[in-house]
């Protein structure tokens, strides 16, 4: 049984588990979903299962990326969660099936996860990185009350923006 993180009126957020492999493979196989991520798609269901089985973040940090399920049906909508980055900052990230875009799920789940992170871990700020052309993700950051910190080159994203929210302002 996966640990349930927060819930919202519409959503359940829980740790990703092997039952999510097919939906994760489908999510990461959509070129439009992957366009601004800098990530490489999974090549098979076996690779997806291996990734999930070896996902270290829950044990290492106590948190990680979480499955986002529609409370009414249990449908896997995508994922949202926190991640410790190499520079010791904590990043909010999300990825949803295209059919679930523009329904408020990213904002709703990210708001819940940010609150959960601030209330349950010793975090004072959470950042968000997005490709400069990823207007959808930038709008989510803005709806969350995150503030633009800088524009920069970032990993595989290329030209990117860095947003942050402080615990004191959430």
The overall average pLDDT reported for the chain is 94
Given a contact cutoff of 8 angstroms between Cβ atoms, the answer to whether 131 and 167 are in contact is no
Give dist(CA 131, CA 140) in Å, integer: 13
* Residue 133 lies in domain: 4-169
Q: How many domains does the chain have?
A: 1
Tell me what pLDDT residue 5 has.
Answer: 85
Segment 125-165, tens digit of pLDDT: 999 999 999 999 999 999 999 999 999 887 777 799 999 99
Instruction: Check whether 166 has a pLDDT greater than 80.
Output: yes
Q: Tell me whether residue 40 is exposed, middle or buried, using C-beta atoms within 10 angstroms of its C-beta: 0 to 12, 13 to 18, 19 or more.
A: exposed
pLDDT score at 38: 81
Helix H or strand E segment including 161 = strand 158-166
Instruction: Give the whole-number percent of the chain exceeding pLDDT 90.
Output: 86
> What whole-number distance in Å separates Cα of residue 132 and Cα of residue 130?
6
Q: What share of the chain is helix, strand, coil (3-state, %, to 5)?
A: 35, 30, 30
Question: E-strand spans in 8-51?
Answer: 11-15
| Residues forming a β-bridge with 83 | 91
Contact between residue 36 and residue 133 where contact means Cβ atoms under 8 Å apart: yes
d(CA 30, CA 112) in angstroms, rounded, equals 26
Q: How far apart are CA 112 and CA 126, in angstroms?
A: 13
**pLDDT tens-digit series, residues 74-85:** 999 999 999 999
Structure tokens at 6: 């927060």
CATH number for the domain spanning 32: value is 3.40.630.30
């Amino acid at each position: 049984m996966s640990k349930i993180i927060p819930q919202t009126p519409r959503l359940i957020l829980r740790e990703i588990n092997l039952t999510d492999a097919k939906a994760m493979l489908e999510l990461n196989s959509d070129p439009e979903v992957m366009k601004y991520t800098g990530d490489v798609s999974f090549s098979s269901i076996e690779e997806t299962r291996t990734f999930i089985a070896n996902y270290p973040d829950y044990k290492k940090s106590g948190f990680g990326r979480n499955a986002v399920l529609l409370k009414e049906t249990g449908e896997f909508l995508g994922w949202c969660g926190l991640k410790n980055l190499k520079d010791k900052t904590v990043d909010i990230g999300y990825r949803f099936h295209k059919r679930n875009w523009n329904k408020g799920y990213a904002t709703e789940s990210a708001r819940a996860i940010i609150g959960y992170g601030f209330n349950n871990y010793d975090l004072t700020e959470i950042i968000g990185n997005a490709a400069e052309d990823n207007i959808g993700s930038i709008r989510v950051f803005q709806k969350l009350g995150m503030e633009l910190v800088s524009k920069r080159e970032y990993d595989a994203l290329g030209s990117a923006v860095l947003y942050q929210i402080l615990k004191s302002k959430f």
